[in-house]
Chains A and B, each alone.
Chain A
Amino acid sequence: MSTTNTELCSKESSMMAPTESPIVHLASRGISPVILLIGMYVFFHGHYSPGGGFQGGVLLAAAILLLRLSLGTSLSQPVMPSWITLRLSALGALIFAGIGLVSIFFGGNFLDYHYLPMPWLEPAYLRYYGILLVEVGVTITVMTTLVAIYDDLLGC
């Protein structure tokens, strides 16, 4: 499946015409890591300020899509390969549901972080880290789904 994907991506179709301008290349390659950094900040600061999984995931996806738009799909494959996007999206949803299942296996209700198997933490901090783990799943799903839809439009 990955071989057909690379074949498809190597053919530059009409929709994915990458620009030749060095200014656009340099600017997008300079701005994209900054957007990634802001995305990570928004995600990890969701406990203390407005932010969280959905917003951080959208910012991370915006950084990758900027590279996809300016460099072309085949050149921006090392940032996030096309074949991995939908699998990572499923993984994010599995992380979220898996945390709920883990707390069922250890004697609680579904998504009751109080029962996560980390006995060295007091219950309030268990919930703190439970929220963080759940937001990791949300971020992965939102980021990779947005990139996957763009890649599907181009046929990669």
Chain B
Amino acid sequence: MKTLQYLLLLAFLGILIVAVTNLPPRGDVTAPVHQHVNPAGTPVAGTYFIQHAYEDTRTPNMVTVILADYRAFDTLGEVIVVFAGGIACFFILNLGRRKP
């Protein structure tokens, strides 16, 4: 049974390695994903982000640009969620302790 598990893990590792080596390089505009055209007839927004991210912000890391500039409102929501989680833990865990 143990050997079967290890063989399964090795096979899965091999599949992952083959899949990763076949991926297009990061930021390749000619990748098949970015060749799609939406129903309105214009290319999807990823192409614009890849082509203009560096000129817009002078930041080499495209992921940071999308997270903190193009989609900053989304990231603001994530921060608010983290903060709300902390507040909720504060109120729930201190329910019985704050009695004088």
Contact = CB atoms under 8 A, between A and B. Distances in A.
Contacts, number: 94
A98 to B, nearest CB: 11
A96 interface: yes
Contacts of A93: 79-80, 83
Contacts of A54: 78
Given A93-B80, A148-B86, A148-B90, A135 B68 contact: yes
Interface string B23-63: 00000000000000000000000000000000111111101
A100 B77 CA distance: 13
A18 interface: no
B61 A46 contact: yes
Interface residues of B, number: 30
A151 to B, nearest CB: 9
Contact of A100 (B60, B76, B82, B97): B76
A97 B68 CA distance: 12
B83 to A, nearest CB: 5
Contacts of B80: 93
B19 to A, nearest CB: 20
Interface of B: 55-61, 63-65, 67-69, 72-73, 75-76, 78-80, 82-83, 85-87, 89-90, 93-94, 97
Nearest 9 pairs of A and B residues by beta carbon = A145-B86, A127-B57, A152-B93, A111-B72, A131-B68, A124-B58, A149-B89, A93-B83, A47-B59
